[in-house]
Structure formats: C-alpha cells, structure tokens
Amino acid sequence: MTKKTFAPFELKMTEQQAIDGLKSTYGDEFTAADVRAFATMNDIAYATVTKKIKKYRVAAGKWNLKVTQKSVENIEKSFKSPAAMPAVEKNLVPTKDDTFVKFGSFPDIKRIIGSKLFYPVFVTG
C-alpha cells in the first residue's frame, strides 16, 4: 500500500501572475467585468483575483495598476494639514442687567430652574 500525501490546497495563480495576466489582457486600467472575465478564463474565483489585486483598487469595481501604495503615501505626505488655530474662549453668560424687572411668575420660574429638574414651562409676555 502506498501512502499518498495531499496538499491542503492548490495555488492556481500567484499575485504577480494575476497582475501580469490582467495587464497583458486589459492594460493598466480595468473594471469588475474585466476581472470577472479574466477569472472565468483562468478558472479562478472572482473573489480570489480581487484579493490579489486589492492594493491597486481606485474605486468601486475599478483598478489601476499604475497606482501603488508608495505613490499614494507620497501624495499624502505632500498635502500637509494646516496648523491648528488656538481655541478662542468666549464667555456666553451675559452680565447682570440692573434694569431687569421681575415679571409674571418669575419666582416659580426661578425655583424650577434652581431645582435643575425638567419641568415644561410656557412663558408668555
């Protein structure tokens, strides 16, 4: 009896083979339809091919082989963020108005606000 050994899976195509095949067939730019056709021609799943070329993805369903991570990083470095402006502190609490006249149900309103509990109030006037 001979003992057979099996590989857990068969690697049908490497990343570089997928890139070279797509480039020779469709050029530097191709769409999802092109990738699907390429996957069918080579008897590989579409998801497998897209995983191998995901670093070249430029938009949904579009890939560009000229775009690389290195060029993207260079572009990101060239656009530096502007310096942060120091926060301006404003006091939004008005100063006391000496001419204020207590009106209507002022004591009730003051007591409601002082309790710091929610109580719906309708003020007229």
User: Domains of the chain (ranges plus CATH)?
Assistant: 15-78 (1.10.238)
CB 38 within 8 A of CB 49: yes
Strand partners, 57: 63
- Which uninterrupted H or E stretch holds 35? helix 32-41
Residue range 12-38, pLDDT digits in tens: 778 888 888 888 888 888 889 999 999
Residue range 68-118, pLDDT digits in tens: 656 666 666 666 667 777 888 888 888 988 888 887 788 888 898 899 888
